[in-house]
Amino acid sequence: MTAEPVTGAWRIGDPPGRRKFVTGPGALALEAGGVLPGYTLAYETWGSLNSDASNAILVEHALTGDSHAAGPPVPGHPSAGWWDGLIGPGKALDTTEFFVVVPNVLGGCQGSTGPSSPDPDGQPWGSRFPVVTVRDQVTTEAVLADFLGISRWAAVVGGSMGGMRALEWAVSLPSRVATVLVLASTARASAEQIAWAAPQLHAIRADPDWRGGDYYSASSGPFRGLGIARRIAHVTYRSEPELDQRFGRSYQGDEDPLRGGRFAVESYLDHHAEKLSGRFDANSYLVLTESMNTHDVGRDRGGVAAALGRVTARAVIGGVDSDRLYPLYQSAEIAAGIEGTAEPSVVSSPYGHDSFLIETDQIAALVKALLG
C-alpha cells in the first residue's frame, strides 16, 4: 500500500455530522498517574429521554468503532452505523421507547480527545498523550451521563472493547447501572490477547513515518504499519473455518502467487487494511489497544472474583462459539462471578469474534432478554 497524506476521518476539523460534544469539568487525573488538563467526548443519541431519565441506554463501541452506531452515512462518518440493525424504531434497542447514547471513547479519533487532538497550546498531543485505561474511559463517560441528566442507565451494552467498558461500568459504578450486556469480551486481558496485540503495536512503531508518534504535520503518516496491524487483528476477528470456506487457496482474480500475485484471502486483508488506514489514527490505535491490554476489573480490588461480586445489575453475558480471540470460557468466568447470572448465552456463528457485529438476530434476542 502506498503512503498517502495524513488525511483521515479522524482529522481535527472534520464536519461533526450527528455528533454532539461534552467537555469535562476540569483536569482528569488518570489511573496510571498522568493528567489530562481537559478533555472532550463526542457522542450521538437516538430517541428521547423521558421525564425521569429512566429510559437511557449506553452503547459502547469496539476498538475501531465510533459514536455512529446507527443510521446512514453522514459527514464525518462515510459508513452506515455499525449496529444499525439493532438501534432504531421497532428494533431491539427501540428508539421510540429508549434514549440511546453512544460516545466515542477517550483516546479515540472521532471527535473525542485523543493523540490527534490539540493540547492546551493548540498542538496535537502525539507522543505526549498519556496512558489511559478502561477505568479512565468510564470516568469520562460518567461525566457525559451527568451532563445528560442520567443518574442510572437502564442498560449498558457493549461488545469486545465495548464489553470491557460495559463491565467496568457495572463494577465501578454499580448503583448507576440497572442492567448490563457484555458480549464477546473478558474481565481481564489474557496472555494470548496481549500477545496478539504485541506485533500490531510493533508494526505501527516500526513504520518510519510514525516518527515517534509526532507525524501530524508531516506529509505522510504510519499507514503501512497501521495496515499491517489491521491485517493481524482481522485474522483474529474471524474464524479459521470461515476463512477456509470463503477463500480456500483461491487466487485473487487472475493473479498468480507463483508469479508475485496474491491469494484471495490476502486481498481481503489488504482491503480491510486500506479501509482502516483511511479513517483511523495510528496513535489512537496504539492508545486504545494498550488500554485493552491493561484491562483487568480485579486490579486493586482483590481480584476478578471480588470485583465481579460488586455488580448489582441484572446481567446477560454473551459469547461466540467460534471466537478465537475472546473464547467462551472468558464469558463463562464473567457470568459465574456475577450473582444471579445465568451461564453465558452462546451466539452460534461461523464468523468468529466479529459475530457480535454480524449476527443481528441473535444479538437482538439477547438485548430483548436483557430489557425484559
User: Is the Cβ–Cβ distance between 176 and 149 less than 8 Å?
Assistant: no
From 207, 345, 353, 354, the catalytic residue = 353
Per-residue pLDDT tens over the stretch 113-134: 999 999 999 999 999 999 999 9
Q: Using CA atoms, how far apart are residues 168 and 138, in angstroms rounded to an integer?
A: 7
331: pLDDT strictly greater than 70: yes
Provide the total of helices (H) and of strands (E) in the chain, helices listed first.
Answer: 11, 12
Provide the pLDDT for residue 8: 35
> By C-alpha distance, which of 300, 296, 309 is closest to 341?
309
Q: What are the residues whose beta carbons fall under 8 Å from the beta carbon of 333, sequence distance 6 or more?
A: 186, 187, 304
Per-residue pLDDT tens over the stretch 133-161: 999 999 999 999 999 999 999 999 999 99
Per the annotation, the verdict on 48 as an active-site residue is: no
78: pLDDT strictly greater than 90: no
Structural domains of the chain, with CATH:
20-190+295-371 (3.40.50.1820), 193-291 (1.10.1740.110)
Q: Out of 8-17, 132-141, 335-344, which region has the weakest mean confidence (pLDDT)?
A: 8-17
C-alpha cell at position 297 = 476489573
In sequence order, the β-bridge partners of residue 46 are 100
Give the strands of the sheet with 20-23, arranged side by side.
Answer: 20-23, 40-46, 99-103, 56-60, 155-159, 179-183, 314-320, 345-347
Per the annotation, the verdict on 353 as an active-site residue is: yes
Q: How confident is the model at residue 14 (pLDDT cuts 50, 70, 90)?
A: low
Per-residue pLDDT tens over the stretch 38-74: 999 999 999 999 999 999 999 999 999 999 999 999 8
> By C-alpha distance, which of 194, 141, 146 is closest to 172?
141
- DSSP state, residue 188: B
Per the annotation, the verdict on 77 as an active-site residue is: no
In sequence order, the β-bridge partners of residue 41 are 22
Provide the pLDDT for residue 17: 75
From 322, 323, 349, 354, the catalytic residue = 323
2: pLDDT strictly greater than 50: no
Q: Using CA atoms, how far apart are residues 188 and 293, in angstroms rounded to an integer?
A: 8
From 160, 185, 239, 277, the catalytic residue = 160
Mean pLDDT of the chain: 95
In sequence order, the β-bridge partners of residue 35 are 29
Task: Report yes or no on whether pTM surpasses 0.85.
Answer: yes
Provide the pLDDT for residue 77: 83
- Sign of the CA dihedral running 101, 112, 106, 189: positive
Per-residue pLDDT tens over the stretch 288-310: 999 999 999 999 999 999 999 99
Q: How confident is the model at residue 26 (pLDDT cuts 50, 70, 90)?
A: very high
C-alpha cell at position 100 = 440511546
Q: How confident is the model at residue 168 (pLDDT cuts 50, 70, 90)?
A: very high
Q: Name the percent of the chain lying above pLDDT 70.
A: 96
In this structure, the number of other CB atoms found within 10 A of the CB of residue 3 comes to 15
User: Is the Cβ–Cβ distance between 21 and 118 less than 8 Å?
Assistant: no
- DSSP state, residue 177: B
Q: How confident is the model at residue 6 (pLDDT cuts 50, 70, 90)?
A: very low
In sequence order, the β-bridge partners of residue 42 are 21
In this structure, the number of other CB atoms found within 10 A of the CB of residue 258 comes to 7
- DSSP state, residue 105: P
